[in-house]
């Protein structure tokens, strides 16, 4: 089979290697499409993310799905949950597998991801999807799950107001989700004009530049920071009301986040940090199936597996919204 492996920062090449074999409790999945995430760009650009770094050529990609080959689900299309939690630690037992310290995650550290034609994956982490979903839509269910988990952490009350700071794909999904969930108003903050326009299309009432946001007079109940920069964190804190809540979703380049302590302290803010997601796939699939959330418009560019390096370079320039690599199957 063909696979795209990252050998060093910026060095993503196509290799030929044997297809994996499904072991006990696993299914063989023929990969359809893979979405490129901001965390993938950390790996591509720096060969690392947080405290994890390259130790061998790694197959990136944790946003993906495909078609099962063999077993009771033969021929069924599935979304793949990329997080293999241990299931035995205290965090898993308390219902927080996303916080498992022993988790293996697709496209991270020692665990190969989805940028290959076949993946053998635990069957319990596969989620059936309607045949009406495109491969790209199936891939985007994972970041939608991250958006839903972040929304859960925001404790948004029905009719509450929201700011979304950073309008890449997950920020846009958050705008869709909070609007569908009954938010009274949504303020989007984004420096790029085409993403401001996308935020308005996703349900935001106002789309502001960071400079405009600093002068914005209204306050919101919950702010979601989805950019991974200190400036975005500060803007999120300035927009939220005293006693409000700020959810940090973005991943910073240098593994550090800082903000004005006086601003947060005097407002008495609650700050929550999102760690991937948990138990969100069924909700994500249902929201898309019912048309509550439309992921199709978020896919702005698509590349073949042979052009995976070009896809990453393009995604890093932030010229569009979501970049997808089509590995095989339906479009």
CATH number of the domain within which 184 lies:
3.40.50.720
In the prediction, which pLDDT does 205 show?
A: 97
Taking alpha carbons only, the member of 124, 143, 129 closest to residue 40 is 143
Average pLDDT over residues 234-249: 98
Q: What is the pLDDT of residue 255?
A: 84
Domain residues for 85? 2-128+295-326
Report the candidate in 138, 129, 70, 82 with the shortest Cα–Cα distance to residue 328: 138
Helix, strand, or coil here: 203?
coil
Does position 67 have pLDDT exceeding 90, yes or no? yes
* 263 has a pLDDT exceeding 70: yes
- At residue 46, does pLDDT exceed 90? no
pLDDT of 278 higher than 60: yes
Contact 137, 125 (CB under 8 A): no
- Flag whether pLDDT at 330 surpasses 70: no
Q: Is the pLDDT of residue 295 over 70?
A: yes
CA 283-284-287 angle, 5° bins: 80
Query: How far is 81 from 307, CA to CA, in rounded Å?
Result: 25
Contact 245, 272 (CB under 8 A): yes
Residue 329 has pLDDT above 60, yes or no: no
Q: Which helix (H) or strand (E) holds 304?
A: strand 299-304
Cβ–Cβ under 8 Å, residues 3 and 14 = yes
- CATH number for the domain that contains residue 97: 3.90.180.10
Alpha-carbon gap, residue 38 to 5, rounded angstroms: 17
Are residues 299 and 269 part of one domain? no
The answer on pLDDT for 159 being more than 70 is yes
Reported as a single tens digit per residue, the pLDDT across 132-152 is: 999 999 999 999 999 999 999
Residue 285 is assigned to a structural domain of this protein: no
Are both 102 and 8 inside the same structural domain?
yes
* Residue 328: band (very low, low, confident or very high) from pLDDT cuts 50, 70, 90: confident
């Amino acid at each position: 089979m063909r696979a795209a492996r990252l050998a060093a920062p910026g060095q993503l090449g196509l290799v030929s290697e044997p297809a994996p074999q499904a072991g006990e409790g696993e299914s063989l999945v023929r990969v359809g499409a893979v979405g490129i995430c901001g965390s993938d760009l950390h790996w591509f650009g720096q060969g690392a993310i947080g405290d994890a770094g390259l130790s061998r050529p790694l197959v990136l990609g944790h946003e993906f799905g495909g078609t099962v080959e063999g077993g009771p689900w033969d021929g069924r299309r599935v979304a793949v949950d990329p997080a293999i939690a241990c299931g035995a630690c205290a965090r898993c037992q308390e219902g927080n597998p996303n916080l498992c310290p022993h988790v293996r995650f697709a496209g991270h550290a020692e665990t190969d991801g989805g940028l290959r034609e076949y993946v053998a994956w635990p069957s319990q982490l596969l989620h059936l999807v309607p045949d009406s979903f495109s491969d790209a839509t199936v891939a985007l269910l994972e970041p939608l799950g991250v958006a839903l988990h972040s929304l859960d952490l925001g404790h948004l009350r029905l009719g509450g107001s929201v700011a979304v700071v950073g309008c890449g794909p997950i920020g846009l999904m958050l705008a869709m989700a909070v609007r569908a969930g009954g938010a009274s108003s949504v303020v989007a903050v984004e420096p790029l004009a085409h993403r401001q326009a996308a935020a308005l299309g996703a349900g935001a009432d106002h789309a502001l530049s960071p400079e405009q946001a600093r002068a914005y007079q209204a306050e919101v109940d919950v702010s979601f920071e989805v950019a991974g920069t200190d400036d975005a964190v500060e803007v999120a804190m300035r927009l939220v009301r005293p006693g409000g809540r700020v959810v940090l979703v973005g991943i910073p380049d240098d593994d550090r986040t800082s903000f004005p302590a006086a601003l947060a302290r005097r407002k008495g803010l609650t700050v929550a940090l999102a760690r991937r997601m948990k138990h969100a796939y069924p909700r994500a699939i249902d929201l898309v199936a019912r048309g509550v959330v439309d992921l199709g418009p978020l896919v702005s560019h698509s590349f073949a597996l042979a052009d995976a390096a070009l896809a990453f370079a393009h995604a890093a320039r932030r010229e569009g919204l979501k970049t997808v690599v089509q590995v095989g199957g339906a479009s």
